[in-house]
Amino acid sequence: MLIYLVVSLIAAAWLVPLIVVVLNSLRSNEEIVQTSMIGWPRQWAFGNYLTAWSDFCLAQTCVGIRPYMLNSALVTIPATIFSTLLGAVAGYAVSLWRFRGDNWIYGIVTLGIFLPQQMRLLPWTIVLRDTGLMNTLTGLVLIHTIQGLSFTVLFCRNYYVAIPQELIRAARIDGAGFFRIFWRIILPLSPPILVVTVIWQFTHIWNEFLYGVTFTTGQQQPVTAALIALSAAVADIPHHGVQSAAVMIAALPTLLIYLIGGKYFVRGLTAGAVK
Amino acid sequence: MVRRLPEYLTIWVPLLLSAAHLVSFSLWTIWISFTPSTLVPVSGWVGLRNYTSVLASRNWQIAFDNLLLFGSAFVLLSLVTGLTLAILLDQRIRGENVLRSIFLYPLAVSFVVTGTVWSWLLNPGIGIQKLVHDFGWTSFRFDWLIDRDMAIWTIVIAAIWQSSGFAMALFLAGLRSVDADLIKAAQIDGAGPVRMYRRVILPTLWPITITVIVIQLQFAISTFDLVRALTNGGPGIATQLPALVVYDLMFQRNLLGRGAAAAVLMLLILLSVLLPYAAWQYLQQRRAPHA
């Protein structure tokens, strides 16, 4: 019984931050100012969500968090789809199709998992400036697609190496080409790894902050950058209730994905570690 | 040849783009770190001057000391927390799935979000300290967030909370894959649960431990978002970390050459962790070729 007590206490501590945000998002600003950030709502202030979504002001523009959520979606969804599809094809190519130099190129691509973002900040700045993609969502999609490949190729390649080479050989003898084999044999076997890859990419791109804040400004920023801007604004005029609602809205997409596909999320987490 | 062109393009273009950007961007940043670039990259050669001025700056020295403290405290404590949680969950308790989900959910959320929330909880004016004061214990103090000497520990707390679940997941997988015969043999020898863990089970976990350490160190070295949201490097520059120094030099002071040098220094710190790890893994594989 002691063990249940201990585990429940730790679990409760782990939930405190989440509970605090949820409760605060339903308390009025006056109430929070009078007491503290930790407390039960005396009056349910559901209006905080409406204000956070479409009303509050950030640098003189009063449009709420909605446009920034849209920006994040417009970056995350295409970049997730592109990097996953390209990663699946490339993973298939290096694991089953085999071509000269495949191990070399695969080795270099996966080094990208370790290379710090800081080593790529300046070159991306220059590339985006020269291609006119600075401060555009397209620029962020491009960055996340190319950088995401390091992870997606690793995930897919490690999954595909378990497929017997004979299957591919037999299909080739029957006259099937690269794309036909991918479409007819590889893709039908892929749903488990594609789910892991999509969840991983979506979570990471949605939560990314450094590139968002460096390469976009104002109305083009993703929601993580907008939250930091909001924190700075709240330091002047306390609006913690609305801010909590904004934080909840921004965290909701990845939290929902985690709730629905937690198993696959954890698989992605450990896949990188236990190579 | 022409008929197979689409195939070659599909295979090579994404892989080459990815590999080329990794190699060329690294070389590019290294090159900039040896030039006198300020607002824009310029050619020219200043030798190690950017490096010496970064290393001599107070900003970097504080960031490096903080990294040592934060890195070791965070890695050690998240290892202990993760292992404890894994052992507790390994006792075939009810509700394991729910508990595991609770310990892992912070990993699904952005550091910006969790940093913001922790900044409220730890803020003495509105957070835990205020709550305790309102209960009547007015001499209670928990103001690490605004204390120069203790502020770095707020980042340790938030980071442990955020990523102990990851260590737990890896340890739990390790605990579950311990050879059942080994456990049975120890039981027959009359080993109690404590002895069992200390002598039989935990020693099999050390390869996982090393992996966890390396991954958590890698996270610690590149920590940026969490600090940005929690303390923004303050009070003053008390919670500065290398990634913040790089950003500050590159985009706030427009000293591209020095910023690049700081980025390369970050890479060197990372390599000092990763290269021994890679060598160790290589030796492991050579020693056990069939594993």
Q: What part of B 101-120 touches A (C-beta under 8 Å)?
A: 101-114, 116-120
Burial of B3 (0-12, 13-18, 19+ CB in 10 A): exposed
Which amino acid type is present at position B288?
A
Q: Determine contact: B246 vs chain A, CB below 8 A.
A: yes
Distances (CA, A) of B46 to B32, B55, B251: 10, 15, 21
Q: What is the pLDDT at residue A34? A: 82
- Residue A272: pLDDT over 80: no
- Which residues of chain A lie closer than 8 angstroms to B11, CB-CB? 89-90, 93, 97, 99, 178
Yes or no: say if B252 and B59 are a contact pair by the CB < 8 Å rule.
no
Tens digit of each residue's pLDDT (9 = 90 or more) over B161-209: 999 999 999 999 999 888 888 888 888 888 788 888 888 888 889 889 9
Cα dist from B275 to A11, A20, B35, B272, whole Å: 36, 42, 27, 6
DSSP states of B164-211: HHHHHHHHHHHHHTS-HHHHHHHHHTT--HHHIIIIIIGGGGHHHHHH
Q: Are A166 and A96 in contact (CB under 8 A)?
A: no
Q: Which residue of B has its CA nearest to A36?
A: B126
Cβ–Cβ below 8 Å for A255 and B109: yes
Strand partners, A58: A61
CA dist A217 → B101, B187, B235 (Å) = 36, 63, 26
Dihedral pair phi/psi, residue B246, rounded to 5°: -55, -50
pLDDT for position A32: 86
Q: How far apart are CA A150 and CA A83, in angstroms?
A: 9
Q: Can you give the pTM of this predicted structure?
A: 0.93
Alpha-carbon distance of B115 to B105, in angstroms, equals: 15
Q: Show Cβ contacts of residue B129 under 8 Å, excluding neighbours closer than 6 positions.
A: B140, B141, B142, B143
- Residue of B116, B221, B232 for testing the chain A interface, max A β-carbons within 10 Å: B116
User: Rounded to whole angstroms, what are the CA distances from B142 to B133, B136, B145?
Assistant: 11, 15, 8
Domain ranges (residues) in chain B: 29-290
Say if the Cβ atoms of B18 and A112 lie within 8 Å. Answer: yes
Does the pLDDT of residue A234 top 80, yes or no?
A: no
A8-30 residues labelled b (16+ CB within 10 A) or e (exposed) = eebbeebeebbebbebbbbbbbe
Distance CA A228, CA B36 (A): 32
Residue A122 with chain B: CB contacts under 8 Å:
28-29, 32, 41, 250, 256, 259-260, 263
Q: What is the average pLDDT across B246-262?
A: 95
Level-2 CATH architecture, domain B29-290: Orthogonal Bundle (1.10)
Question: pLDDT of A6-52, one tens digit each?
Answer: 999 999 999 999 999 999 999 988 888 888 888 898 888 898 999 99
Rounded to whole angstroms, the Cα distance separating B289 from B291 reads 6
Residue A158 to chain B, least CA–CA distance (Å):
16
pLDDT band at A275 (very low <50, low <70, confident <90, very high): very low
* Residue A246: band (very low, low, confident or very high) from pLDDT cuts 50, 70, 90: very high
